[in-house]
Chain A
Amino acid sequence: MVCDANFHIFQRVFQCIAHETENTNLAGYTSFCIMRGLFEIYVTNGNINMYSASDLKKGLKIEIDGDPCMITNFEFSKPGKGQALYRCKIKNLITGNQFDKTYRSVEKVNRCALISRDFTFSYIDVDNYVFSDNETYEEAILNQELLGDLKNFIVDDMQVEILFHNDRALDITLPNFVEMVIAETEPGARGDTTTNVMKPAKLDNGYEINVPIFINEGDTIRIDTRTGTYADRVSKG
């Protein structure tokens, strides 16, 4: 990171070189101007891609050592006559590790560029789920470990949103509800659609779910993908 004070020193140096080379060495002067332009772009981008420590707050996403992270807790602290300190609890969004970090007010923190894109589910390739970008048809491959329980609710042609950090898929959002067929369950008590009594059932992918006792094998139910629980019955099998 180039701090403002250094930037002014660099500018001074550039002025001197420009003055010295302008009339004596045209080729040198030209390449120098290109270098100065690139430097200024670097400095400008450097600044817009950073937060000041005083910009930090709970919920903000930042980048540490190349990994996307989120501030899960934030506390302003200023001891005695000392400097302002920004004490953060941070979660690494890739590894899930939580750690504490204290920033001084002069410190800068990298911004985290997260992009969300729309995809359609295509097919399963062993442990990987393959999706295709709705606009570019580019493929995104998500390992089933990243999907966790959500993998059970992915159906053909499902529309999903995938969150990327520097082309690395971080998270997936499914539609809130998905319709699935009950593959296996004990026959239930007929007609009783009012009680809250639940019983275990299985989907054809093996996912176990609690359903009301009136649900039978072959019934289509709606599942809330956010909680992985039964929502309602769509139709009888």
Chain B
Amino acid sequence: MTADSIKLRDVLMRDIRTFFYERGYTEVETPIRLKIPCMELHIDAEPSGDHFLRTSPEMFHKRLLAVGHEKIFEIGKCFRSGEFGPLHHPEYTMLEWYQANADYMDILEETKALISNVWKESFRDWKILPVSQVFREFAGWDPVGNFDEDRFDIDLVEKVEPAIRKIGGPVVLKDYPVEAAALSRRKKDNSQLAERWELYFDGVEIANAYSELTDPVEQRTRFEECAAQRIALGKQAYEIDDTFVQALENMPPSGGVALGVDRLLMLISGQSSLDPLLPFR
């Protein structure tokens, strides 16, 4: 355990909050124990009695957007079952924020501002690369319109991420194949692409952003498909959260992002593993 990491975290938390307060954001608190966790193919929720621990505050934030809150953020613990490694811990601190009437690229500008602000270093050279381009360049194929999940995941980890690590600094992968859209909306001019980006720093992924999907019909279909895929993988399929799906009808077009605070702290302090930053790990 290092005293430094405790102090560093304290400074980072204050800086993050100051950044959002100054920009007119409201800090919100949403439930940590949920009846129905957000259904994603490869994210498993930790059971907690007859509830689950949240894997993300996403669904509650969207319900807040639907009732008129326009700029909201939350910093809190999220839980993901079975994720443990140098860059993973099953209980971790997530920063999540949403802005109404914004899209994923607006959110990227805000993310850049946040990073420079809290890191106290300005990164000028942000490389913004389409997923299609990096896969063609580093893995030799284009997953867009030709998606193969296993090949995509394995090549991402074995070929694309090491290449991004070599590029170094901030790299944003944008416009994912729609099959990997999760809760993001399709691009207006190309329905095979989803408005989603992931931010990497020195090859370490730290944030994931969407232009949020606000179509309740498409959201329900995606949840149903996801449930079927989860069952096929031998995983538990969660219920579909009707309150959430219905709320999308009143949700304005919005941009949102989730950022791993522990990983950000790791990068700021020049570490390559979460070990020195999680004193009770």
Contacts and interface: CB of A to CB of B under 8 A. Distances in A.
Interface in A186-224: none
B149 A75 contact: no
Interface in B27-47: 40-43
Interface residues of B, number: 28
A38 interface: no
Contact of A102 (B88, B157, B198): B157
Interface in B196-213: 198, 205, 208
A107 B198 CA distance: 27
Nearest to B231: A5
Contacts of A81: 40-43, 180, 182, 208
Contact of B157 (A5, A79, A106): A79
B205 A79 contact: yes
B228 to A, nearest CB: 13
Interface in B73-104: 82-88
Interface string B144-161: 000001101110111001
Contact of A84 (B83, B87, B156): B83
B42 A83 contact: yes
Interface residues of A, number: 19
Task: Name the residue in B82, B85, B86 with the highest tally of chain A Cβ atoms < 10 Å from its Cβ.
Answer: B85
Contacts of B154: 85, 102, 104
B234 interface: yes
Interface in A85-112: 85, 87, 100, 102, 104, 106
A79 B156 contact: yes
Given A82-B42, A84-B82, A77 B157 contact: yes
B208 A78 contact: no
A80 B88 contact: no
Contacts, number: 64
A4 interface: yes
B233 interface: yes
B198 A80 contact: yes
Nearest to A82: B153
A4 B233 CA distance: 10
A4 to B, nearest CB: 7
A222 B85 CA distance: 45
A161 B101 CA distance: 73
Contact of B85 (A4, A5, A75, A80): A75
Nearest to A75: B85
A4 B88 contact: no
Contacts of A79: 153, 156-157, 161, 205
A39 interface: no
A152 B43 CA distance: 56
Contacts of A85: 153-154, 157
A144 interface: no
B272 to A, nearest CB: 12
Given A77-B157, A79-B157, A104 B180 contact: no
A106 B230 CA distance: 12
Task: Name the residue in A5, A76, A81, A84 with the highest tally of chain B Cβ atoms < 10 Å from its Cβ.
Answer: A81
Contacts of B205: 79-80
Contacts of B233: 106
A82 B156 contact: yes
B88 A78 contact: yes
B128 to A, nearest CB: 16
A28 B43 CA distance: 48
Contacts of B40: 81
Interface of B: 40-43, 82-88, 149-150, 152-154, 156-158, 161, 180, 182, 198, 205, 208, 232-234
Interface of A: 4-5, 54, 75-85, 87, 100, 102, 104, 106
8 contacts: A76-B84, A79-B156, A79-B157, A81-B41, A82-B157, A83-B149, A83-B150, A102-B157
